[in-house]
Chain A
């Protein structure tokens, strides 16, 4: 991928990719590292990325490029974790404390309620097994479809669907315990 193309992706999807990295790593500094590493690795890849036939327009190609980078982020992060002998996952509270998540800018009271709700949801998500959490992260923060997730993770679409289904059930269960009605 060329620098120019990657810059276009940064412009259009940078926040999504960085958000994905934040949710994946649970740490803003680590997310920054991963985010940058992903782009640099993509740039250095000698083998030219082959877009699917469905990617006919520039916008399609950017979206595919974004998905490719998300897949690469997952792989790089897995390698990193293996290398670091699987560091302990940070809790959602730790992540919030570390300032991983963006600050609220709305009305104070609303912001407080929203934040509490958001943190509860994130807490429920954090209880998921890695595999389930990953597909949810890819789907919601990176805005990837089931087919796109399957492609990047090299797993069947059915597997993605079933993981997402399980994740939904678990999250709903968790939220119900916290008193939320879904």
Chain B
């Protein structure tokens, strides 16, 4: 059979739709609409999505909410990847923690948010402790109630929870940041779940130096069995090895497949890692209807917090402060 050259070329180079998600974000950004994750940051975030599991292992979880008391952040809530259920890949222990006195100075609706989270998350409150031994896995957190500032600020149509941290290991330190949020334009009933899935939990991790890389790699070995699927491990290793001092390793919890992530996998259609699901599910595991609860819980709040993680014998979070409000 004889082919026409131009037809072959046109077929090979046919247009590829960018898709609604990409275009919508782009148009929003061009129109100056606030994005939960600005595009340029999202670019960075996307690049090393595979490091997600790693950071989870290092940092021990995802902050979900916070409460302010008298302008102070008293305690924050955490999900820990410390339980057997997490290690079995079932769910993430996410909970809220409010001031230990049970006091609130929350704005209207914020208390409701925290209560709702408390009621609807599967696991009970974690036992807060500054004693690392309390947490058998070594991923212990304690957040001191230093500093001021209001953590939560309201917004009519969005929910963003952000926190950043500094991870210290001896002389080295890194910074990371998680952003939990959704796009304002996606806060409608139908889209919300999708938005949560794809955008809710993101973060990046800044690598300080080679020593730290080595440390991370050793942490990698401690990852739960499921995370240590060969391809995930390779991907994480690659992400860590590829970075240079000062680079940002991005962490992305997009539910993307191995092939989308450009990660070698025995099954390219498989998701990059169970960790993807773990984190994703941590946001979607509401018992009484995922999207409903998420939407109800999250609507109307912005939240930004910052915390520091230090490493000594065990990991723990020692301070937390609001960075905006």
Residues of chain A having any CB pair with chain B under 8 Å: 3, 6-7, 10, 14-19, 22-23, 27-29, 31-33, 35-37, 39-40, 43, 97-102, 114, 117-118, 121-122, 125, 136-137, 139-141, 168, 171-172, 175, 180-182
> With A3-B30, A10-B26 in contact, is A101–B5 under 8 Å at CB?
no
Residues of chain B having any CB pair with chain A under 8 Å: 1-5, 8-18, 22-23, 25-27, 29-32, 39-40, 43, 46-47, 257, 259-262, 268
CB distance from B26 to the nearest CB of A (A): 5
CB distance from B172 to the nearest CB of A (A): 24
CB distance from B138 to the nearest CB of A (A): 34
Give bound CA distance, A27 to B268, whole Å.
14
Contact A118 B39 (CB under 8 A): no
**Quick one: closest A residue to B269, CB to CB?**
A99
Main secondary structure of the interface of B (DSSP, over half): helix
Report which of B9, B31, B259 forms a contact with A136, defined as CB distance below 8 A.
B9
> With A7-B27, A140-B10 in contact, is A29–B17 under 8 Å at CB?
no
CB distance from A99 to the nearest CB of B (A): 5
Q: CB-CB < 8 A to B268: which residues of A? A: 97-99
Report which of A14, A29, A172 forms a contact with B262, defined as CB distance below 8 A.
A29
> With A29-B261, A180-B3, A182-B2 in contact, is A14–B30 under 8 Å at CB?
no
Report which of B4, B25, B31 forms a contact with A3, defined as CB distance below 8 A.
B31
**Quick one: closest A residue to B12, CB to CB?**
A121
CB distance from B277 to the nearest CB of A (A): 19
Contact B2 A140 (CB under 8 A): no
CB distance from B71 to the nearest CB of A (A): 37
> With A3-B31, A33-B46 in contact, is A102–B5 under 8 Å at CB?
no
Q: CB-CB < 8 A to A114: which residues of B? A: 11
Contact B39 A40 (CB under 8 A): yes
Q: CB-CB < 8 A to A180: which residues of B? A: 3, 8
Give bound CA distance, A140 to B7, whole Å.
10
Contact A39 B16 (CB under 8 A): no
Q: CB-CB < 8 A to A7: which residues of B? A: 27, 30
Q: A3-B31, A7-B30, A32-B46 are in contact. List 4 more A-B contacts (CB 8 A).
A: A19-B15, A37-B43, A136-B13, A140-B12
Report which of B30, B46, B260 forms a contact with A40, defined as CB distance below 8 A.
B30
Report which of A18, A99, A141, A168 forms a contact with B5, defined as CB distance below 8 A.
A168
Contact B260 A141 (CB under 8 A): no
Q: CB-CB < 8 A to B22: which residues of A? A: 18, 32, 35-36
Contact A6 B30 (CB under 8 A): yes
Contact A36 B25 (CB under 8 A): yes
Please give me the 10 A-B residue pairs with the lowest Cβ-Cβ distance, nearest first.
A140-B13, A15-B15, A18-B18, A141-B13, A19-B16, A121-B12, A19-B15, A3-B30, A33-B43, A140-B9
Give bound CA distance, A15 to B9, whole Å.
16
Contact B18 A14 (CB under 8 A): yes
Give bound CA distance, A114 to B221, whole Å.
45
Q: CB-CB < 8 A to B5: which residues of A? A: 168, 171-172, 182
CB distance from A50 to the nearest CB of B (A): 21
Q: CB-CB < 8 A to A182: which residues of B? A: 2-5, 8
Give bound CA distance, A39 to B39, whole Å.
11
Contact A14 B259 (CB under 8 A): no
Give bound CA distance, A57 to B314, whole Å.
67
In this complex, the member of B10, B15, B260 whose beta carbon has the largest number of chain A beta carbons within 10 angstroms is B15
Report which of A31, A136, A139, A181 forms a contact with B2, defined as CB distance below 8 A.
A181
CB distance from B171 to the nearest CB of A (A): 28
Q: CB-CB < 8 A to B14: which residues of A? A: 19, 102, 141
Report which of A23, A98, A125, A171 forms a contact with B259, defined as CB distance below 8 A.
A98
**Quick one: closest B residue to A92, CB to CB?**
B12
Q: CB-CB < 8 A to B4: which residues of A? A: 182
**Quick one: closest B residue to A138, CB to CB?**
B13
CB distance from A31 to the nearest CB of B (A): 8
Contact A19 B13 (CB under 8 A): yes
Contact B13 A117 (CB under 8 A): no
Contact A16 B259 (CB under 8 A): no
Q: CB-CB < 8 A to B25: which residues of A? A: 36
Contact B13 A23 (CB under 8 A): yes
Q: CB-CB < 8 A to B18: which residues of A? A: 14-15, 17-18, 32, 35
The 13 sampled A-B contact pairs (Cβ below 8 Å) are A3-B32, A6-B30, A18-B17, A36-B43, A40-B29, A40-B30, A40-B40, A43-B30, A139-B9, A168-B5, A171-B5, A182-B4, A182-B5
> With A28-B260, A29-B261, A172-B5 in contact, is A102–B12 under 8 Å at CB?
no
Report which of A36, A117, A125, A175 forms a contact with B39, defined as CB distance below 8 A.
A36
